[in-house]
Structure 1
Amino acid sequence: MPMESCTQMNAVEIEQAITDLAEQPFDPIEFPYAFLEAFGNKETTIKRLRAGASNKSDLGGVLQTNNIHILASEEGQVTQMLASLKASPATGKTKAKFILATDGKDFEAEDLISGQTVACAFKDFPDHFGFFLPLAGISTVRQISEDAFDIRATSRLNRLYVELLKDNPEWGTAERRHDMNKFMARLIFCFFAEDTEIFIGKGRFTDTIAQMSERDASNMHEVIATLFRAMNTPRDERTAVGIPRWATEFPYVNGALFSGSVEVPRFSRIARSYLLHVGNLDWTKINPDIFGSMIQAITEDEERGELGMHYTSVPNILKVLNPLFLDELRAKLDEAGENPRMLLNLRKRMARIRVFDPACGSGNFLVIAYKEMRAIEAEINRRRGEVDNASDIPLTNFRGIEIRDFPAEIARLALVIAEYQCDVVYRGLKLALAEFLPLRNDNWITCGNALRIDWLSVCPPSGIGVKLQADKLFETPLGQAEIDFQNEGGETYICGNPPYKGSQTQTKEQKEDLASVFEPYGISSKQIDYVGGWFMKAAAYAQVTPTDSAFVSTNSICQGRIVPILWPAIFKCGSHIRFAHSSFKWTNLAAHNAGVTVAIVGLSTEVSKTRLLYDLDRNGQTTVREATNITPYLSVGEDVVVEGQRKSISGLPDMSFGNMPVDGGNLLLSADDAASLGLSKQDEETFLRRIYGSAEFIRGVVRKCLWIPDVKLPQALEIASIRVRIDGVREMRLKSKDAGTNELASRAHQFREMYHGGKHTLILPGVSSEGREYLPVGLIDNHSVVSNLAFALYDAPLWNLALIASRLHLVWIATVCGKLKTDFRYSNTLGWNTFPVPTLTEKNKADLTRCAEDILLAREHHFPATIAQLYDPANMPADLRGAHERNDEVLERIYIGRRFKNDTERLEKLFELYTKIAASTAPAKSKKRKVGTNA
C-alpha cells in the first residue's frame, strides 16, 4: 500500500478504531471499507475503492493492490471463502499481503507472506489487531503481537482518562494532576489484583462497582472511594471507621497505595461504561516490561498525541543489560553446573546486586533486569532442589530516579507486579498470594532531578542511605528514597535511557543542570548533549565505588565537538569504555517511524574485564568483536580524541569558509533581482558573479551577487540601481551594534571577504543529507564565488576533490564532525585539517586526479540534473556510481593495498594513521600563502 494512501495512525489509535468497529452491527457491504479506514486509509482512497477505480477484487469483495483482499461471506461459509480468496488470481496478481473473510459471526484471515492465520469470533477480532499492523505501515515484530494486551489496555485507559478530564477539568490542572495520576495508579492495581486472585473472586473489583453504582453514575465516585478506604484499613478496624459490609471482603493492601486522600473524580454515564470496559479486560496478560511506558503517555499532555509510540523493545533493553552484567551471571551459572556450593555463592552474590537507573521513567530497564535475574535465581533453586524458596533478590535493590511523579509511581507498581508474576511462575500461585499482601512500605524510586541529586545518597555502596521522609510507597513527589538495609559488598550496575536533548534544544534549566555537573571539573558544558550529564555522573560515582554503567544515547555523544570535551574528563575519573553498540535505530510503534539513531556505551573502572564492540553488518545482523581498547568514537584502537587544527596535519591545502556578505540583502541577488538591475551585458560581466552556498550548489538554485573590486567602484557608482544597493549596505552596517560591522561601512560595495579562485575553486557545502553515500563536493570556475554557507579550496589541485568525494572521507566526517539533526555537518578545522592522508606520490596524485575528472564528467553527462538528484541513493546514475567506486578503489589501495571490508575497518585505519601523524614531529611551518585571490 503506498504510504500516501494512509494517514499515520499509531497502534493505540488503531486498536481503538477496530474495537469500535467490532462493537457496531455488522454490515457486509460497509465492513471492508470501515476495516481499511480503521487502519488509516484516507477518505479519498476509500472513495476510489467504492467507485471501483482501484478495487481489483474478482470475487465481489474489496481488494486493495499490494495490501489486502476482503470478502464478506454468506453465514457459515467463512472458511470456504478464505480458501477462495487465497486461490483468487487477482489476489496473486495484485500482490495482496493479507486475505480476510467474515460473516459477522466468524472471522478468519491469513498473512500470505508469513503463512500465519487468525480464526476467531467476529467480536474478538480486535484481540488480534497486532496481526494486521502492517496494513498501517507499522512493521510488526513478535513482541508487538505478543504485547497486544498492553496496547489495548492503554487504549481503554486513555479513553477513560480523557472522559474523566472532560467532566472534572480541575483534575487536569497542575494542582490536581498528581491526584489524578494517583487515582489511575490505584485503578491499574485493582484491575490487576482482581484478575490474578489477589482479590478473591475474578473480576471482583469491577463487578462490585457495577453492582453498587447507579447506571447514571451519580454515586460512582463514592463507591470507588469506599473501596479505596477499605483497602487502606486493616480488617479489624473497618467496622469502627464505618466501612460498609459490601466492601469488607477486599483485602488490606497497605504499602501506602491507598493512603492519604481517597477523593475520586465524578463519573458520567460514558465514563462509567469505559471503566467497566477496562475492568473486563484480562489483566493477567499485563506485561510490566512495556506497559509502564505506554500508560505513562496517557498522563503526559505532550505525549498523549503520540500515544502508543513509547514502546521500548525487550531486545533493545537487553542490548544494555546483557553485556553490562547479565551475560556474566549466566556464564557463572553455566560454570557452576550442578555444584551446590557454587550455585549458593552465585545466589548470594545476586542478592547483593543493585541495579540503578537514574532516568528510570516508568521502570522498563529495572523490570527487565529484575525478571532476568529472577529467571537465573529460579534455575539455581531448581538445581539445588529448593523450588519453593522465597526469592533472595529484594525489589529495593532496583533503584531509580525519575523527575516526574506519575512515571515514578508506575515504576514501583510495575516492579511490584513483576515480583508477583515471577513468584507465580517460579513458586506457584499459592505461595505468591500468601506473601503478596500487605504491600511493604519500602520506597526505592526517588522522584527528582537526577542531575541535581547525589546518586550516592540514592544508591550508596553499603546499602545504607540518607534517611528522609519517604515511607509511603506511592506518595509522590518525593525527596530522597529511604533505604535502610544492609547490602555490604554488593555490586552496583547503572543503566538506562536518559533524555538526549542537543545543546541547541536544551531549556535554560537543562543548561543549568549540565553546568552543575561539569563546572566542578572546570569544563564548559555549552556544547554537550543533555545525556552527557548522566555519563559524567556515572564516572564520578564510579570513583567512590567500583561500578559498571551503560546508557542508551544518541550517537552524537561519540561524534564531533562533544568528544574532546566529555571523554577526557570521563577517562580522567578512571572509567573506560568496556562495551559499546555502534549506531543503530531505536525504533518504536509509530507508523512509518524510522526511529532515532542511537549508540549504547558501557563504562567500567575494572581494566581486566573483556571489552566488546557490537556492530551491525550489511544484512542488519549484530557482530561482536573483542577489543584491547574501545575509543570514544566507538572504534577499536587507542584512546584518541580529535581536536580542531588550524592547519592540515597531512599537509593538505587550506580550506576556509566562503565569503560573508553582511549586506542586509543588498549584495546578494536572485536571478530576478539581477535582471531588475537593468545592466548591459558588459556591466553584468563586470559587476555580477554567480555565487554558491550549500543550497545553490546542491539544488541548482541560481543566485548572483554584486562583486565590485575597488578599482571598479567609480564605474559602479555611475549605475543608479547599483548605487542604491551600495547605499543600503552602508546604512545597514552603520546601524549595526557590532563595531566590526560598523567599520565595514567604509567599503559598502563589498562582502566582508572578497576571495575567489584564480583558476578554479573546489566547493563543499557545510551541511549534507545523511542519505547521500558521498559528500557533494564540486568544481566552480574563476568567475564564480563561494558564500559563507559553504567551504572553499581556492586553486587546489583536483586530486583534493577525489579525497573529499571518497567513502573514507565521509566516514571520517560523520565520526569526528558529527551531525546537525540527521545531516552531516562539515568542519574545516575538525574534519579537513585532521583528515589523515598517507604521503602521496606523484603517481598517486595523477591517479586521483583522473578519478576526480571521471566523477565530474559523469555528472556532466547528466546535465542539467542537480547534485541533489544525482546523489539520491535510489536514483544515482550507474556511471556516476561507477566513477565513485573507482575513486574509492584507487584511494583505499593507497591506504592499505586493497578495498576496506566495511566502514568500521575504514575508521579504525584512519584513527591508526591519525594517531601516528599527530604523534610525529610537527612539520616546519610553510610560508604564509594567500588563501585565494583577493580582488
Structure 2
Amino acid sequence: MNAVEIEAAVSDLASQAFDGEEFPFAFLAAFGNKKTTIDRLRKGNTNSSDVLNGVLQRNNIHIATCLPGTVSETLKALRASPKTVLAKAKFILATDGQTLEAEDLVSGETIAPDYPDFADHFGFFLPLAGISTIKEIKDNPIDVRATGRLNKLYVELLKDNPDWASEERRHDMNHFMARLIFCFFAEDTGIFKETGLFTRTVDQMSERDASNTHEVIGKIFHAMNLSTAQRNADKPPAWADAFPYVNGGLFSGSTDVPHFSRMARTFFLHSGQLNWRQINPDIFGSMIQAVADEGERGALGMHYTSVPNILKVLNPLFLDELREQLNTAGNNSRMLLNLRRRMAKIRVFDPACGSGNFLVIAYKQMREIEATINQRRGEPGQKTEIPLTNFRGIELLSFPAEIARLALIIAEYQCDVQYRGQRQALAEFLPLNAMNWITCGNALRLDWLSLCPPTGNQVKMVANDLFHTLLDQPEIDFENEGGETYICGNPPYLGSTWQSAEQKADLESVFAGHTKSWKSLDYVAGWFMKAADYGTKTDAASAFVSTNSICQGQQVPILWPLIFDTGHEITFAHTSFRWANLASHNAGVTVAIVGMSRNPGTTRRLYSEPNDQDDGRLQIKEADNVNAYLVSGPNVIIERASRPISELSEMSFGNKPVDGGHLLLSKDDANKLMLSPQQRIRFLRRIYGSAEFIRGLERYCLWIEDANLDEALSIGPIRQRIEGVRTMRLASRDKSANEMAARAHQMREMNIAQKWTVTVPRTSSESRPFLPSGLIDSRSTVTSEAFALFDAPLWNMAIIASRIHLVWIATVCGKMKTDFRYSNTLGWNTFPVPLLTEQNKIDLTQCAENILLAREAHFPATIADLYVADSMPENLRRAHEQNDEVLERIYIGRRFRNDTERLEKLFDLYTKMTAAPSPTRNARKTAQ
C-alpha cells in the first residue's frame, strides 16, 4: 500500500463505530497487513502479547484496547511489557474508543488525539507499512488526503465521461482539475469572500442526484472570468456573481465541465470539506501529478520529494551563499538593500520541473531571506521584489505543468500572508497575472536560452492565457541585465536499455556533433549537456539529481570530457545516497547530486551521507577539485587498459560457449550422459559463472580435446549435443559463429588452469560488503559470466577481496541495475597498486588463505550465505578485516578512515602511474 491508500483506510476505520475486540486487527489491515497474517494473530498463533486485550506483532507494534479512562495506564503497561522488548516492537498503542495514545519507541515521540481524530496522525505510523516517516507528512496530512480525494473524484468523472479520457480532451480534464484545486484553496484562505463558498454553493445549487452539478460549476467558472465591466453586461446569477474575477487564463476559454454522477458529487463535496488552508504546494504538487496519469495512478502519492532532499540541491547551488551574504550584512542597511536587489534578478530554472517542487521550495526560501532583510531594514510588510516569472520551468506533460503554475501561485499567496499579512496579500492577489513562466514541451528539444535568456524578466504571451494555451517558446523582453541563473531539478533517469525510440532521438539531438557514443548514456545526461551548452552563452550554474551511473563506469569517458570541454567544472557534489519515495517497502534509487559552473571559485565541496562514526551529521569535505567520479582529485578519466598498470596478474574473460545451450549441462543433464568414471574425467568439467560461483549451483560443460573427439562422437548423447552446436552456429548471422561450426565440440575459448584459477564473478550484489572471489581447481573452468586469473599467485585474490578494490570497482566500472558489474579492462587492469615487496606478497597470500579457510569452516555455506552484511560469520569478517589492514598499510602505512580517502589515494596513484610509460608484460588474451 502507498501513503494515500493507507490514509483512506485509516480514515475509514476512525469513522466507524469502535469495536474494542476488532480494532487491533482492523488497524493492522489499514497498514497493509495481509489477511493470512491477521488471521494468525487473531488465532493467537503469532500473538505473544502479555497485556490484557493486547495484540503484539513482532518487529512492528504492540496494541491494546482498554476500559474507558484507562488509556494512559494501558500504554504504560505496554511500555513496561517484557514482550514488547523481546518482540522488538517499534510502536505501542492503547485506546478505549474515546482517546488514543501511541508512542514511537525508537524516537520517543508520542501522540494523544481524541479517537475520531487519530486518522490525522496516520503519518506517525507509516513505518508500520515500511514507509520511511517524512516530517512533512507526519505534521500535515492534508496533502495526502487531498490527493486521495481528488483521485477518487477524477476516476469517477472519467467513468461517467469516457470522452474526457480521450487524448483530444485530456487537457480539458486536467485543466478542470487545476480549476477545482484553485477554488478549494481560495475558499479556505480568504481569496473568496466567504470560507467554504465554492463547496457550499455547489452543494446548495445543484440537485442531489447531480443532474445539474456540471452546469452550476460551469457558471461559477464563467463568472470568475468576467471583469466588473463584463459582469454588468453578462449578468451572471447572483450566487455565481459572489465569486471574484480571477482571470490569469485559469478560467478563460471553455468553461465546459464533465457531468457528475451522485457518487462523483459526493467525492467533490468530500474534497471541499478538507481544510485547504494547510495545503503545502511543494508536497501536494508532486503527489497530485499521478492523478492524471493512468500509468502512474497505481503509484498514487509516491511521487514525493522531501524538502531536505531538494535543499541538498538548492542550498549549495545558491541559497547557502545568499544566507552567508545575509549574515555578513548584519544590520547594514545598504548591504541588505544590495542583497535584496540581487535576489530580485536571480532566476531559478528547472528544465524538468514536473509539478514544480524545486521551484516552489526555491521561491519560499528566497522569500524567507527577503523577509529577514525587510525586518532588519525596518520595512516589514514590504512588497516582494522577487517576481514569480523568475522561477521558470519546462515540463513535458500538460497537467503537472499546470500544477506547477498553480503551486507557485499558491506559494506566493502563502508567503504574502506570512510576511505581509492577510489584508495585503488579498489586496494584491487578484486578478492573477497572465504571464507564462512554465513551458509545456520537450526540454531536450527546446531552446533553453529563449525560455530563460541571460536578460529579461518579462515574458510576453502570444495569447493572454496562462493556463489554457501552452506555448512552446514565449517572446522575451530583455530587462534583467546582470541577473544570475541557477538551473536545477530532478530529470528523468532512464538507462540506455530502457529508452524509447523517441528518447533515443532526443539524446541524439543533444549529442550530435559532440560524440558518436551517446547511445550508451543515461537519459539524464541530456540535461547535463544542455546545461553545459547553456552555460557557455550566459553566466549560469546548474545542479541536477541523477542516477550515480553517469559518474561511474563507461559513461564517464563519454559524457564528462564533453562537459569539461565547455569550460565547466564540478563545483559541488553529493555522493551516492538513497532517493526514496512514499511507496511501501520501497528500495528507492541510488542517486548523486552534481553541481557545475564555468566560474567554480577556489573551493569545491563534497557532501556525503553520515556513516556510523559520524554522529548522524552530513559530512562536508572541501577540495581543490572534484573529478567526474565525484572524488577529490584531478580531472582524470579512467580509460580501458589492455593489461594491468600494476604488477597484477593478467585477468582473462571467461570461456564463451556460443553453443545454443548444448555444451553446458545441469547435474541431471550430466548424469543422463551415462558416462563411465574415466569418460567423465575426459569429457566433463565443472564450470562457473556468476550464479554458479556465488550461489553454489552445480553446472558442467563438455570439455573435449581434439585428440579425444573420435571417442566423444562414439557416445550418442554427446554426438547429438555436438550436432546441435554445429546446427546453431551455421544458422547464426554471425560469421565468426559460422566459422566455429567446424569445431562444434568446443566452446569459443578453451582456457583452463594447470594448478588453480582465481575467479571473479562478472555480476554481484551491491549489498555484499566485499566482492566475491575465490579459487577453483584445475579440473574446473569459468564461463563468460566470470573472469579468471589462471595459475595466478594467490595474493591477487587478496587484492580482489579487499574493501579498497570494491570501492574502485563501484566507482569506475559502474553497475547493472544496482549490482556491481566487474570489468577486467576497466576495473582490474586500471587498479593502482603500489610496488609490492616479496614480504608484501607473502603477507597478502596469507590473508587470502585465511579468508578461504574461514569460508571452509562453514561448508557447505555458499558465498551468498556467508556474505550477508548483517550476519557475516565473525571469523570470516575478521579475516577480511586483517586483509584490509595488511593491504591498506601498504598504501599509506595505516587504515584508511573512509571510502572517500581510499578513492582519493587511488586516483592520485592512478594519475602518477599512468603518467609514466607502463612496463611491457607478456599478456594473456583479455577482453572487455
1:12 aligns with 2:4: yes
Match of 2:42 in 1: 50
Q: Does 1:754 align with 2:750?
A: yes
Distance apart, 1:747 and its partner CA:
0.9
Q: Secondary structure at the match of 2:789?
A: strand
Displacement of 1:29 in angstroms is 2.8
Amino acid across the alignment from 1:724: Q
Q: How many angstroms apart in 2 are the aligned matches of 1:929 and 1:883?
A: 31
Counterpart of 1:157 in 2: which secondary structure? Answer: helix
Contact 2:570 2:600 in 1 (8 A): no
Q: Provide, for residues 827-885 of structure 1, a one-character-per-residue CA deviation record: whole Å limited to 9, x for no partner.
A: 11101110111111111111111111111122222221111112122222211111111
SS in 2 for 1:356: strand
Residue number in structure 1 paired with 2:271: 278
User: Offset at 1:456?
Assistant: 0.3
TM-score using structure 2 length: 0.97
1:120 to 104, 113, 134: 113
Displacement of 1:789 in angstroms is 1.1
What letter is aligned with 2:35?
E
Partner in structure 1 of residue 15 of structure 2: 23
Check whether the contact 1:855–1:880 (CA below 8 A) recurs between aligned residues: yes
Q: CA RMSD in A?
A: 1.8
What code does the residue aligned with 1:359 have? A
Contact 2:395 2:439 in 1 (8 A): yes
Q: Report whether the alignment pairs 1:38 with 2:30.
A: yes
Cα distance, 1:138 vs structure 2: 2.1
1:26 is paired with a residue of what secondary structure?
A: coil
Report what 1:888 is aligned to.
884
**Residues 1:451 and 2:447 are matched in the alignment:** no
Aligned match for 1:479, one of 443, 457, 472: 472
1:142-153 to 2 correspondence within 5 Å? 142-153=135-146
Aligned identity (percent) is: 67
Residue 904 of structure 1 is matched in structure 2 by: 900
SS at match of 2:870: coil
Segment drifting more, 747-756 vs 188-197:
747-756
* Superposed displacement of residue 143, structure 1: 2.5
Q: Alpha-carbon deviation of 1:787? A: 1.0
Q: CA deviation at 1:926?
A: 3.2
- Counterpart code for 1:164: L
d(CA) in 2 for partners of 1:72, 1:857: 55
Instruction: Name the TM-score, length of structure 1 as normaliser.
Output: 0.96
Matched, 1:709 2:705: yes
- 2:344 touches 2:386 (CA, 8 Å); kept in 1? yes
Distance 2:412 2:782 in 1: 65
Report what 1:648 is aligned to: 644
C-alpha deviation, 1:74, in angstroms: 4.1
Tell me the distance in 2 between the aligned counterparts of 1:65 and 1:828.
46
Structure 2 CA distance, aligned partners of 1:282 and 1:928? Answer: 73
Counterpart of 1:251 in structure 2 is: 244
Q: What is the one-letter code of the residue matched to 2:641? A: Q
More divergent stretch after superposition (727-736 vs 568-577): 727-736
1: CA distance, partners of 2:426 / 2:478: 25
Return the letter of the residue paired with 2:14.
A
Question: Residues of 2 paired with 1:71 and 1:803: CA distance?
Answer: 55
Which residue identity is paired with 1:657?
F
Would the aligned equivalents of 2:137 and 2:143 in 1 still touch at CA under 8 Å? Answer: no
> What amino acid is the match of 2:387?
P
CA distance in 2, matches of 1:144, 1:871: 37
Structure 1 gap segments, 5+ residues each:
1-8
Matched residues in 2 for 1:907 and 1:92: separation? 41
Tell me, in whole angstroms, the C-alpha distance in 2 between the residues paired with 1:170 and 1:37.
37
- Whether the aligned pair in 2 keeps the contact of 1:85 and 1:99 (CA below 8 Å) is yes
Q: Which residue of 2 aligns with 1:3?
A: none
Q: CA separation of 1:931/1:820 partners in 2, compared to 1, >3 Å: closer, same or farther?
A: closer
- 1:578 is displaced (CA, Å) by 0.4
Q: Which of 664, 669, 684 matches 1:668?
A: 664
Task: Find the counterpart in structure 1 of residue 801 from structure 2.
Answer: 805
Which of 677, 680, 687 is the aligned partner of 1:681? 677
What displacement does 1:180 show? 1.0
Task: Please say if residues 824 and 926 of structure 2, whose CA atoms lie closer than 8 Å, have aligned partners that are also in contact.
Answer: no
Match of 1:4 in 2: none
8 Å CA contact 2:456–2:480 kept in 1: the answer is yes
Counterpart Cα distance in 2 of 1:513 and 1:910: 36
Is the CA contact 1:374–1:422 (under 8 Å) kept in the aligned structure 2? yes
Distance 1:834 1:931 in 2: 13
Q: Which amino acid aligns with 1:876?
A: M
Looking at structure 2, the residues matched to 52 and 759 of structure 1 have their Cα atoms a distance apart, in angstroms, of: 59
Aligned mates of 2:822, 2:475 — CA distance in 1: 49
Distance 1:290 1:476 in 2: 26
- The residue that corresponds to 2:414 in the other structure is 421
Paired AA for residue 40 in structure 2: R
Within 2, Cα distance between the matches of 1:244 and 1:486? 44
Contact 1:642 1:830 in 2 (8 A): yes
Are the equivalent residues in 2 in contact too, given 1:444–1:483 (CA < 8 A)? no
Q: Which amino acid aligns with 2:44?
A: G
Contact 1:164 1:265 in 2 (8 A): yes
Please tell me whether residue 225 in structure 1 is matched to residue 221 in structure 2: no
Query: Quick one: structure 1 residues 931 and 528, their matched pair in 2 at CA, closer, same or farther if it must change by over 3 Å?
Result: closer
Name 1:302's counterpart in structure 2: 295
Q: What SS does structure 2 have at the residue aligned with 1:756?
A: coil
SS in 1 for 2:518: coil
Superposed displacement of residue 931, structure 1: 8.2
Count residues with an aligned counterpart: 923
Query: Measured at CA, do residues 928 and 699 of structure 1 come closer, stay the same or move farther in structure 2, by a change above 3 Å?
Result: closer
Question: Which shifted more, 56-65 or 569-578?
Answer: 56-65
The yes-or-no answer on 1:922 pairing with 2:922 is no
Give the SS at the match of 2:519: coil
Q: 1:689 to 1:337 in 2, by over 3 A?
A: same
Find the residue that maps to 1:110 and give its secondary structure: strand
On the 8 A contact 1:459/1:465 being kept in 2, the answer is no
Q: Which position in structure 1 is the counterpart of 2:765?
A: 769
Q: Flag the 1:569–1:465 CA change in 2: closer, same or farther, 3 A.
A: farther
Distance 1:229 1:281 in 2: 24
Aligned counterparts of 2:679 and 2:736: Cα–Cα separation in 1: 31
In 1, are the aligned partners of 2:643 and 2:923 still within 8 Å (CA)? no
Q: What pairs with 1:588-603 in structure 2 (closer than 5 Å)?
A: 588-603=581-596
Which whole-Å CA distance do the structure 1 matches of 2:108 and 2:833 have between them? 53
Query: Is the Cα contact below 8 Å between 2:650 and 2:924 reproduced in 1?
Result: no
Contact 1:378–1:426 (Cα < 8 Å) also in 2: yes
1:197 aligns with 2:190: yes
Which residue number in structure 2 is paired with residue 561 of structure 1? 554
Q: State the shift of 1:470 in Å.
A: 4.9
Q: Identify which range, 441-450 or 727-736, moves more after superposition.
A: 727-736
For structure 2, which runs of at least 5 residues remain unmatched after alignment? none
Larger mean Cα displacement after TM superposition, 593-602 or 470-479: 470-479
Q: CA deviation at 1:139?
A: 2.8
1:136-535 equivalent positions in 2, closer than 5 A: 136-463=129-456, 469-484=462-477, 486-535=479-528
Q: Partner letter of residue 205 of structure 1?
A: F
- 1:833 to 2:829 alignment: yes
Cα deviations across residues 649-671 of structure 1 (Å, max 9, x unaligned)? 11422212111111121111111
